[in-house]
Chain A
Amino acid sequence: MNTLIVVSFLLAGAYLVAVLEAWLASGRFRLAAPAWAAMALLGRESIVPRTPDRLFFETAPVLLLVAALLAAAVLPLSPQLVITDLATGALFVNAALAYVLVALLMAGWGVDGAYALVGGWRFLGQVIAYSMLIVMPITAVAMRAESLLTTDIVDSQGAVWNIVYQPLGFVLFFIAALAVSFLPPFDLPTAGGELAGGVEAEYTGARLAVFRLARMVLVVSLAAATTVFYLGGWLGPALPPWVWSAIKILAVSAAMLLTGHYLPRIREAHLLAWSWKLGIPLALLNLFIVGVLVLIWP
């Protein structure tokens, strides 16, 4: 039952994010835009490239969707509303997100096209650089909660939300979330201007629809992760818990989309240099600061 509610919640969230993205792209607010786009995609012919690695080509969009859904499986929307409250929940989020990388590599290799291949390998470098910025801030969050249970992590933020307690971690996690969901300014694997769609380039019709849906679900999952780890999850006055979760997740998704709207796409070399030379030392500093804070002000 919980599974059904959470999945439908995610899909609704993905739909709203798609509306928002269409609004940002076209400048017009139309509630039905994603529905029309999806119907158009489903109705269109599915063109298969000439010599695909059929197995990877078919699996990649589905694997992306599964990875995004699994990441959301351990994130609570309210104290009861969580698909599975794993004792290693905070680690499981990382594990699920790692398969986003695998899915994009498959998509890049499977279609046997130069642009897709470049996009796939670019994403490999990008995710390996930024997965550290997912793992280390989450470690700091788990340190404060003294637990890997996601529900415990939300409970630990009763007095002060983590965004106040460890703002550095929040900033790093937010940037890494943008990089993992390949939203602009980190949309190097799909880069519209230079790679003509990159890993998405050869996907058409229903497969592209699954791919787009998976990406939207991924954005919502990452927003939910940010909410749970840094914004106090379901905590909030007056309204019921799940409403607070919904509001926060939508706000974070909107912030993720808006950030990219106002920033230029960055170069691959800069992206890697910033992550390895600046991001990871800052993440370590964050771990240290939180370690001291936990001792003096629990």
Chain B
Amino acid sequence: MITLQTLFIAFFGIASVAFGVSVFRTSSMMRSALALLFSQTALGAMFLAMQAEFLGVLQIMMMATEMSIMAIFMVMFMMDPGGLGEMEMTHQKQLSILAGVAGALVTAGIALFTHWGADGVAAPAAAEQTRALGMELLGRSMLIFETAGVTILTAMIAATAVAMPALQRKKTS
């Protein structure tokens, strides 16, 4: 049975995959980063179509800044950020295509041949969802959530420590 929801999921999902493919098909780094951004944004819209309102809006918000940061790093670290020199930036192409297709087919096969059980009931209203998610975060899953926070802190310190220039140690003797 094809409903409006199915159509929206298909539309945004296919848009997301198409943008995802174009990340690796353009040689302009800025286009590449923004294609990834719009892939993730389409994904956020797809979450909205699946009635996960909070997650969809969060995805749309987070990815905008995340991928913009990605863009500046792309431009900083690439030899040819504008993509005007037609540089070859890939290797082991055959193997990669093979692995990509195989990975997609295997996961799709698993999706197809697993018995997923009965359909769930209708999703709760958005306001109720947000509230219940908050209760989950600060109730049963609090420890996991706190772990995520501590992990972020660790990663921040680690990344800063790695990225800092090596200290010029004074030779004492």
Query: A and B: direct contact (Cβ < 8 Å)?
Result: yes
> Interface on A for B, CB 8 Å cutoff?
53, 55-56, 86-88, 91-92, 94-95, 98-99, 101-102, 105-106, 109, 112, 121, 124, 127-128, 131, 147-149
CB distance from A142 to the nearest CB of B (A): 10
- Residue B57, interface by CB 8 Å: yes
Inter-chain CA distance A150–B70, complex, in Å, is 32
Contact B61 A98 (CB under 8 A): yes
Contact B30 A53 (CB under 8 A): yes
Report which of B28, B37, B61, B68 forms a contact with A94, defined as CB distance below 8 A.
B61
Report which of B28, B54, B57, B71 forms a contact with A105, defined as CB distance below 8 A.
B71
Interface size on B, residues (CB 8 A): 23
Inter-chain CA distance A98–B66, complex, in Å, is 10
Contact A149 B28 (CB under 8 A): no
Contact B54 A88 (CB under 8 A): yes
Contact A124 B61 (CB under 8 A): no
Contact B68 A105 (CB under 8 A): yes
- Give the contacts of B39-93 with A (CB-CB under 8 A): 53-54, 57-58, 60-61, 64-65, 68-69, 71-72, 82
Report which of A86, A99, A149 forms a contact with B64, defined as CB distance below 8 A.
A99
- Residue B108, interface by CB 8 Å: no
Given A112-B82, A128-B68; 7 other pairs, CB 8 A cutoff: A53-B30, A88-B126, A91-B54, A101-B64, A102-B64, A106-B34, A124-B69
- In the assembled complex, 20 residue pairs joining A and B whose CB atoms fall closer than 8 Å, in A order, are A53-B30, A56-B31, A56-B34, A86-B57, A86-B126, A87-B54, A87-B125, A88-B130, A91-B57, A91-B61, A95-B58, A98-B61, A98-B64, A99-B64, A101-B65, A105-B30, A124-B69, A124-B71, A127-B65, A147-B127
**B84 closest partner in A (C-beta):** A51
- Give the contacts of B118-143 with A (CB-CB under 8 A): 125-127, 129-130
**A91 closest partner in B (C-beta):** B57
Contact B31 A53 (CB under 8 A): yes
Residues of B within 8 A of A99 (CB): 64
Contact B30 A56 (CB under 8 A): yes
Report which of A87, A92, A121, A148 forms a contact with B72, defined as CB distance below 8 A.
A121
